[in-house]
Chains A and B, each alone.
Chain A
């Protein structure tokens, strides 16, 4: 039994092998949310999403309803769906696009109707070859079925949806970089202000950018009402959410759990979720929301999985990626690998990020390889402080986008919790873990 009896909102069909087919979709309530939405006014549909208090599931956690209402003053020109899922250890959208592409499309169409948008782009990371085939195939079926295209279900509402493949770049998950990429350019984030997508987005027009999981929640919300969604979870964190659990657990996977009512410990140890740590080893640290998030020690395991609860404890739920590291893990190696990732993926526009990531990576590499220097720990923290002054969470912004200030997360939280281990690497030139 799951920890709470909350319904499955986005993974209800996953038990079926053919969950991605139109037949299964229609047999399990598919496109009923869209049909219902089309009988309502666009404002009423948006009001349901507002009532659900659905927080965006991409990483920043901005309320989707508010994102939309900012645009209702000006007509929105484009809706763009962010399926560039690349935050390391995040694999929830992967599941949604491959296993329930029609649910995503239905959510997209509901949003398009609420926003009165006639052109949608679904940007999927290029590495999702099967996902791209599934969504393209589902879209072909949806056109034929009359759910998308001219005069959807005879309602007088017309909309086009285009699936757009990315080509491998972490930074394109940042919404303004994604828009640049969609315009056929390098994924360089745009400076905000003035380039908030809602104001100056795709082709300079007002644009809404929402995540795949956010969209996938909409059919249920319209069918069951925003209030039913808001009744799940607690406080600002309403509904259920997908958590991608990886690392040292017996049953890694994507789990849909009720927010706040479930804790990190539940997710790691409950037999229906992670099932505990292999060999019954101890948890040494967890990455609570993707590698951009500062690490937590085992003392935080009883924190509820809620946006504010995790935020107030000094990290973030981010993209919903939780990675467990047991006591056999070398923290220097983990921090080095994460930093190497940022150094590779920095787009290169801003100096603190471009130079800082490479510098940190080189220092961590030499510590890991037994060539660390006495002053290296201070150097790591000093360079980190130059990228994200004060090393607080949420970090202070020194760069165009949030990639830069996320770089030091694993370094300063790692050194804070495991200073002795980092020092041993430096002093003895070896890893105490083995």
Chain B
């Protein structure tokens, strides 16, 4: 019995087909596994490994390098507060302390009801709205302490579920266009273009030589 659903598996296989080497699909497939489970379960990592022909240790070794791939359970909403330089200047440290106090968990922890995981993040590239907060990687703007509490109320009441899918769902738009262009076709086009390029270069050289001959003739005269 496979742990990954047939839909997840099919999407994973479609991803593998996009790359010259299967392992390139590893990170995108880890995102899919998180979409299914909310985090990277060991059994999911094992299946991903066999799909890509690598060992579970290689999957885990890669996954643990990246902040967004979670090998421990995460709440339904991952609330990230950036405290890097621009946000620090905008009061992020104070907001993080407020968040820890009001949620009753330290950064890195999850509320007992499993709704919210709080994390202190590095720069999230939205530095004109500080302190920058994201929920499941959706920007929710620079927030005050009151704004933060309102956000948490909204999340708990499910009021922002349209805009913010559960943790793990990263990209809701699926690739529809463009299967890979056949390699033979590309090779043939390449060869034709190279031939044309060589012909152009030869023509340019011939023209230059003719010009040079003309110039020396004029000089001689």
Contact residues of A with B, CB < 8 Å?
41-43, 75, 85-91, 93-94, 116, 118-119, 125-130, 132-133, 136-137, 139-144, 148-150, 156-170, 181-187, 203, 244-248, 252-254, 287, 291, 321, 323, 325, 329, 333-334, 337-338, 341, 344-345, 347
Contact = CB atoms under 8 A, between A and B. Distances in A.
A169 B122 CA distance: 9
Nearest to A124: B171
26 contacts: A86-B125, A87-B123, A88-B85, A88-B123, A88-B127, A89-B85, A90-B123, A118-B181, A125-B125, A126-B27, A126-B66, A126-B137, A127-B134, A127-B137, A156-B189, A160-B181, A162-B18, A167-B67, A184-B52, A185-B62, A186-B65, A244-B128, A252-B129, A321-B127, A337-B83, A338-B85
Given A130-B138, A148-B178, 5 more contacts: A127-B68, A127-B124, A128-B125, A341-B84, A341-B123
Nearest to A126: B68
A159 to B, nearest CB: 7
Nearest to B28: A165
Query: Most B CB atoms within 10 A — which of A159, A182, A245, A246?
Result: A246
A96 to B, nearest CB: 11
Contact of B177 (A149, A253, A323): A149
A129 B137 contact: yes
Interface string B166-210: 000011111111101100011001101110110010000000000
Given A132-B171, A165-B170, A341-B122, A139 B177 contact: yes
A183 B21 contact: yes
Contact of A184 (B23, B68, B86): B23
The 9 closest A-B pairs by CB, nearest first: A143-B177, A168-B67, A184-B26, A167-B66, A184-B23, A168-B68, A246-B86, A252-B128, A88-B123
A42 B128 contact: no
A184 B197 contact: no
A317 B126 CA distance: 19
Contacts of B189: 118, 156-158
B84 A41 contact: no
Given A329-B89, A334-B88, A164 B130 contact: no
Contacts of B177: 139-144, 148-149
A165 B19 CA distance: 13
Contacts, number: 206
Query: Most B CB atoms within 10 A — which of A168, A186, A333?
Result: A168
A133 B130 CA distance: 23
A137 B193 CA distance: 31
B20 A119 contact: yes
Given A133-B171, A149-B181, A184-B27, A86 B85 contact: no
B25 interface: yes
Contacts of A94: 125-126
Contact of B138 (A118, A119, A129, A136): A129
B120 to A, nearest CB: 10
Contact of B175 (A43, A125, A163, A185): A163
